[in-house]
A and B are shown apart, each in its own frame.
Chain A
Amino acid sequence: MRLADGLSGGVVVAGAALLLWTASGLPDMPGQRFGPATFPTLIGIAMAAAGLVVLWRGGAERPLFSIGTLGHDRRVQVAVLWLLGGLVAMLVLWQPVGFPLLAAVYSGGLMLILGVRPLPAVFWACAVAVVVHLVFTRLLLVPLPAGPLGFLL
């Protein structure tokens, strides 16, 4: 997925304007010439200047964006949706469902979408989810939630 310079430059300039506006609301430090707003303001100015150069240079470039294989390959579309949607789902389901189940379903599902045969996909997804869970919880003491499989792991 590629954004043309005209579009990406515009996004950068808009982002810089938002940054400068937000920075202008930061309070000064009493008795000091420079305060918390100094650096964000300088960053905003540099970002806007660089964004304007990109925008000016690529203004005539068309199309404004191309989505490559995402536009026509059904498998790639589903894979990207699964990859990103799955991570969002993890944020919500992390505690109630637990890491081993989430990891197995997430990686196994993505393998199936990408064309791995069902048996190896299920085997590798489950094996890696369980091994990673055990290594990180038992050896490295990372509190990964076990979810409903807590009685097993």
Chain B
Amino acid sequence: MADLLAAWALVLDPEVLLVILAAAFFGLFVGAVPGLTATMATALLVPVTFFMAPLPAVAAIVACTAMAITAGDIPGALLRIPGTPASAAYTDEAYALTRAGQPELALGAGLVCAALGGLFGALVLVVAAPLLARIALGFSSFEYFWLAALGLTSAAFVSAADRAKGVVSLTLGLFIATIGLDITSGLPRFTFGSVELMGGVSFIPAMIGMFAVSEVLRNITDGTSLGTVPKVNVGNPFRGLGAVLWRYRLNVLRGSALGTTVGALPGAGGDIAAWIAYANAKRFSKTPEKFGQGHVEGIVEAGSANNSGLSSAWVPAMVFGIPGDAITAIAIGVLFMKGLNPGPRIFVEQPAMLYAIFITFFLANLLLIPLGWLAIRAARPVLAVPRNLLLPLILIFCVVGAFAINNTVFGIAVMLVLGVVAWLMESSGYPIAPVILGIVIGPLLEQNFMISMMIGDGDLLAFFARPIAAVLGVITVAVWLAPLALRLARGWRPGPHP
């Protein structure tokens, strides 16, 4: 109880509240601009959080991402351009409602369901994280190695439509993580004599390059008009919404539960949760024929799922230090920078700080309703900011952010190189999120492997000697072998007789 009171005192600090509000407005703006993602908003925010105390830094990320994901619905519904990938699942549905003269229904349902889903995910985070942390306190390097391996495997397999390309992206991230001085021997690896590379590739310039610079390049080269000013008019988004939410209450619950489950899987996150929830809504609907023609049921379920997934992605991040998606990967980087090493010890050593972080989740999701309403009302001026004016200004923030971490232009060079690489990769069908997860989880994986092998005297079977490690190991190996087994099973299935 004392910890909870201390947590409230931390959150109610005017600086923290101001940061949450400012980050929320920033997230709303970035999310509402078509083509700019929630991950990009987080990437641009990180250099600023570098100069904040730990709690406002994390609170800024939480508020910014929740707002950006929700604001992504606005251009999706009004222009048929999803503001963020998480909104893409139901963009056509929302746009069909707009064409039918009901943009406020699409936007209102998306907004309120996002808040409900986010609160559901936050509740699961509060309940599940401490329970898991209690179990995780008994974990050693063997269990952490398997958890990291499982996280990386899910990242490669779940986040990519093409598994081989997902593995390529992941190995690129892991390779980047090996650059610099080796963690056990202290020998330089892949530094090619560069003193700058001895300290490794800095995570923040890498992330800004891969998410922000590549987005700017994609926006410039994708051939769409950069100066479009749309004409939109939206009424009260809350009119008649109560009846709609009551009618589809089961969808809200199912979407939130599914989003929470999928979001907690490493490598999955809210984007995938929204697609699965939309498909589920259609499958279980009494009126599946209405889907695609402006039916709010899919928006309710997928809208609840993407924000609940966003909150639950923090469960593996806080408990094991293993990110659930690209945004939590960035957040883990920030936590490390702030000396708040994520993992089960944080639950014992800094409970007040942890509760304070949990409270910010509830605050951010409650703020969604009034701020989201403001964003919907202000949709026209936000959408009217021409991208040909905005993109060059974003680049300036990228340059400053990449420089500010180590106060060296080497950060700008890293940002440039990885920005071009990410642009080429993305346009050729290679996912970017596994690269970032590889950079974050890579050192954890290698360090725990080397420590385990020193303990186990080089015997690989030591990874299966402890019960939880053995279970995690078997699950990981099964996931690795599943595609091969499926292929073989398909090959052995008797074909049709002539």
Contact = CB atoms under 8 A, between A and B. Distances in A.
B412 A79 contact: no
Contacts of A73: 223
Q: How large is the interface on A (under 10, 10 to 19, 20 to 34, 35 or more residues)?
A: 35 or more
Contacts of A103: 396, 399
A97 B453 CA distance: 52
Contacts of A88: 416
Interface in A20-61: 22, 26-27, 29, 32-36, 38-40, 43, 46-47, 49-51, 53-54, 57
A76 B420 contact: no
Q: How large is the interface on B (under 10, 10 to 19, 20 to 34, 35 or more residues)?
A: 35 or more
A132 interface: yes
Contacts of A69: 221-223
B184 interface: yes
Contact of A110 (B174, B223, B391): B391
Contact of A143 (B407, B449, B453): B407
Contacts, number: 165
A5 B189 CA distance: 30
B226 to A, nearest CB: 6
A107 B178 contact: no
A70 interface: yes
B400 A2 contact: no
A120 interface: yes
B458 A57 contact: no
Contacts of A53: 164
B404 A136 contact: yes
A114 interface: yes
A139 to B, nearest CB: 8
Nearest to A111: B392
B185 A35 contact: yes
Given A83-B216, A142-B400, A128 B393 contact: yes
Per DSSP, are chain A's interface residues mostly helix, strand or loop, or mixed? helix
Nearest to A46: B171
A43 B220 contact: no
A47 B395 CA distance: 31
Contact of B412 (A70, A87, A136, A141): A87
Interface string A129-152: 100100010001111100000000
A39 B446 contact: yes
Instruction: With a 10 A CB-CB cut-off, give which of B51, B162, B393, B409 has the most chain A CB atoms.
Output: B393
A17 interface: no
B164 A50 contact: yes
A1 B427 contact: yes
A119 interface: no
Contacts of B175: 19, 40, 43, 47
Interface string B165-191: 101100110110010001011010110
Interface in A50-92: 50-51, 53-54, 57, 68-70, 73, 76, 79-80, 83-84, 87-88, 90-91
Interface string B209-241: 000000011001111001100000000000000
Given A68-B222, A114-B392, 13 more contacts: A5-B428, A19-B175, A33-B458, A43-B175, A51-B168, A53-B164, A68-B221, A83-B220, A84-B416, A94-B412, A99-B400, A108-B392, A110-B391
Interface of B: 48, 51, 162, 164-165, 167-168, 171-172, 174-175, 178, 182, 184-185, 187, 189-190, 216-217, 220-223, 226-227, 386, 388-389, 391-393, 395-397, 399-400, 403-404, 407, 409, 412-413, 415-416, 420, 423-424, 427-430, 445-446, 449-450, 453-454, 458
Closest 7 A-B residue pairs measured CB to CB? A33-B458, A114-B388, A50-B167, A107-B392, A47-B171, A110-B392, A53-B164
